[in-house]
Amino acid sequence: MLTNKRRPKTKSQRPEAQNEGGNDSIPFASDNSIEPSRIVDLFTQEFKHILESPDLPDFIQEVKGQLYNREYISAFNSDDKRFAYASRWTPARALSYSSLFGSLSPIVELLEESESEKKVLCVGGGAASELIGLAAVFCRLKESCSTSESSLSMDVVDIADWSKIVNSLTNYMKRTWIYKPEKLSANFINSDILTDDYNKYSDLDLITLLFTTNELFAEKKTDTIKFLQKLNHNCKSGSLLLIAESAGSYSHITIGTKKFPVQFMIDMILLGKQGEDNGPWELVEQSDSCWYRIDEKEIEYPMKLENMRFFYRLYQKK
């Protein structure tokens, strides 16, 4: 297991994060983000016809069964299934990520800066949760300085074709959440990150791998290691990398005959040998178990919005 040796060297700067008996928690609503009720409105308005479709429950059941069996590629192989996933699971995840991004000082500082373009890559982000979470923080931080020159440009790479979902949700946010729509953009790239020749790593300020690293390891272990090494070689100094996955045994991977927590493997590649910390990244924020809980009194959505428990690690390139 990970030990305290891996604790970030910098003092934790999570004003909004709390610790409850070994479990961290992030608030239902972050002051640094658009309010949860407005995030949920995005789905009830933009996905109105999907939420009202009599076929929706069947598609949700089909996706749920395939995800349970870890058949990730088949789970997202049609627009009907992707819209079903995005209407059923993306809202709670987008709420959770808006709180997480709004609670992590390095990410808030990045999005708060008022002059330059901020470039983000969301790997496996087609279902748009992290796109909405980041936009919710960016748009809130720009509300008080509508003349700010800074912009947020997100590349979303996913092996399944989520283009319709990314475009529809991004257009809503541009219309509704921001004074200057041209300052917010999302570019969807339908490709396998493990074989893609994406060549903009050196321009990126932030890379997110949210609930995607396990899938990559499950698909191709060696190529996933090579992909993380590509980040080691190509990302610029100061860039951030955020990784999150389910907390607990669901996030174990098998190497040879042994099972490891996936974060053990990731740390080896990014931080170097334990105790030596001679890798190209340093760990700046982390939680091995973090709760995000939905306050059902505050929002209304026609389907269940689940609480989330996950581990996260925010790395910064040295």
Ligand X SMILES: C[S@@+](CC[C@H](N)C(=O)[O-])C[C@H]1O[C@@H](n2cnc3c(N)ncnc32)[C@H](O)[C@@H]1O
Which tokens is 60 given? 């949700």
Question: How many CB atoms are located within 10 Å of the residue 275 CB?
Answer: 9
Residue 160 binds to ligand X (criterion: CB under 6 A): yes
Q: Which is nearer to ligand X, 76 or 301 (CB)?
A: 76
Size of interface with ligand X, in residues (CB under 6 A): 22
Contact residue for ligand X among 39, 100, 169, 193 (CB under 6 A): 193
Contact residue for ligand X among 83, 177, 211, 281 (CB under 6 A): 211
Residue 100 binds to ligand X (criterion: CB under 6 A): no
Name the minimum Å distance from CB 172 to ligand X: 18
Name the minimum Å distance from CB 78 to ligand X: 12
Q: Which is nearer to ligand X, 102 or 125 (CB)?
A: 125
Residue 192 binds to ligand X (criterion: CB under 6 A): yes
Looking at residue 15, its amino acid is: P
Piece of the chain touching ligand X by CB under 6 A; list 31-39, 101-109, 119-127, 297-305: 119-127
For residues 126 and 40, is the Cβ–Cβ distance under 8 A? no
Residue 218 binds to ligand X (criterion: CB under 6 A): no
**Which of the residues 73 through 92 are near ligand X (CB under 6 A)?**
76
Residue 219 binds to ligand X (criterion: CB under 6 A): yes
Q: Which is nearer to ligand X, 41 or 161 (CB)?
A: 161
Residue 158 binds to ligand X (criterion: CB under 6 A): yes
Residue nearest ligand X, Cβ-based:
124
Residue 262 binds to ligand X (criterion: CB under 6 A): no
Residue 266 binds to ligand X (criterion: CB under 6 A): no
Residues that bind ligand X (CB under 6 A): 72, 76, 93, 124-127, 129-130, 157-160, 192-194, 210-212, 215-216, 219
